[in-house]
Amino acid sequence: MPDSGRLSIVGTGIRPGGQLTTEARHLIAAADQVLTVVDGLALNVLKAINPATESMQDCYAVGRQRDDSYAEMVSRLLAPLSQGKHVCGAFYGHPGVFVWPAHQAIKLARANGHSATMYPGISAEGCLFADLGLDPAMHGCQSYEASDFLLYPRKIDPTAALILWQPAALGDHSRSTFKTDPAWVQVLADVLQADYPADHPVIIYQAATFPLESPRIESVPLCQLHQARFSQLSTLFLKPTGPPRLSEERLIRLGLKPENFTHAEFQLSRGTGNWNASKSGTRRSG
C-alpha cells in the first residue's frame, strides 16, 4: 500500500482576492505543499496563505508543446504523494474547467491508491453569466472550445446562446504557440454564418481580474470578427437569433394543445427581445 498521500485540487477564482472560497483557503493553508500555475497577485495571495507555495509556470516554454507542459505539472503534483504529503494544486478559475492537468492528476493519484478530491471554484463562465445577465435556463446554452468547434462540425441551435472558449488559440494547430491566426477566425466566422446573419453581434468577453477593473464586453459584427484582437482570457458569446418554437408534434404526444400550455416566466421573457448583453455596448478592462 502506498503512503497516505492526499491530493486536493482547488480553484482560485477569477479575482483571487475576493473569489477564493473559504474551503479553498482552508485546504491551501493546511497543505504540506501548494503547487500552482497562477502568477502575479494571485501567486502572492497563495504564498501569504501558505509559504510552501511553488509556481509551476516554469513548465511552460516558448516552442514547447502545451501537452508536454501539462504532463510535467501532473508529475510534480503526484511526486510528493508517495512521501505521504498533502499536496494542494491551485488553478486559476474553476480547477475542472479547461484544466486537463487537474483531472489527470486526480485520476492517476486515485489509481495509485491516494485520496484525491477536486473542489469547485468560481469560473470564467460564472463571471460571464453575471456580467452579461445570462440565465442559461432562459435560452439554453451551448459551450465549445473554439478550435474544437471549428475542426469538428457540430449541430448548433441558433435560438440558444453559444459560448466559444479560447478563441486566441485559433490557428495554434501545433499547440506550441500562443498566437491567433486571423485566417482561422475568418473561417470560423464563415462557418457561423450558416446559422447566423453576417451582422449578428459577437460579444468578446473577458472577466475582470482585479477588484476595481471592469470586464471587457466588446460587440463586433460576425463578419468583422477576424479583425478583432483576443487575449488568452477572451471568450466569444453569440446571443440567440430569436426564441424557439413550440413543437406541435410533441404537444400532441403529451396530450396538450398550445393554448392550454402554461409558459414559465423565463419562456415568456425570451420572446421580448430584452437582452442585457446586446445593450452593454463596448467596455474594455483597464
275 touches 239 (CB < 8 A): yes
Distance CA 9, CA 199 (A): 42
What is the structure's pLDDT at 35? 98
106 touches 87 (CB < 8 A): no
What is the structure's pLDDT at 262? 78
Render pLDDT for 246-286 as a digit per residue (tens, 0 to 9): 888 998 899 988 887 777 877 777 765 444 443 333 343 33
Extract the runs of DSSP E, i.e. beta strands, from 97-195: 115-118, 141-145, 161-165
The identity of residue 180, as a single letter, is: T
Q: Which positions are catalytic?
A: 66, 70, 92
Burial, 255: exposed, middle or buried (Cβ in 10 Å; 0-12, 13-18, 19+)?
Answer: exposed
Mean pLDDT of 201-226: 94
Percent of the chain whose pLDDT exceeds 90: 71
19 in helix, strand or coil? helix
- Given a cut of 70, is residue 159 above it in pLDDT? yes
The domains of the chain, with CATH numbers, are 6-118 (3.40.1010.10), 124-279 (3.30.950.10)
Burial, 264: exposed, middle or buried (Cβ in 10 Å; 0-12, 13-18, 19+)?
Answer: exposed
What is the structure's pLDDT at 113? 95
Distance CA 256, CA 235 (A): 40
Q: What is the DSSP letter of 263?
A: P
Burial, 125: exposed, middle or buried (Cβ in 10 Å; 0-12, 13-18, 19+)?
Answer: buried
Of residues 268 and 156, more confidence is placed in 156
What is the structure's pLDDT at 211? 81
Grid cell at residue 56: 509551476
7 in helix, strand or coil? strand
Mean pLDDT of 200-209: 96
- 46-55, 81-90, 159-168, 249-258: segment of lowest average pLDDT: 249-258
Distance CA 231, CA 169 (A): 9
Q: Which residues contact 267 (CB under 8 A, 6 or more apart)?
A: none
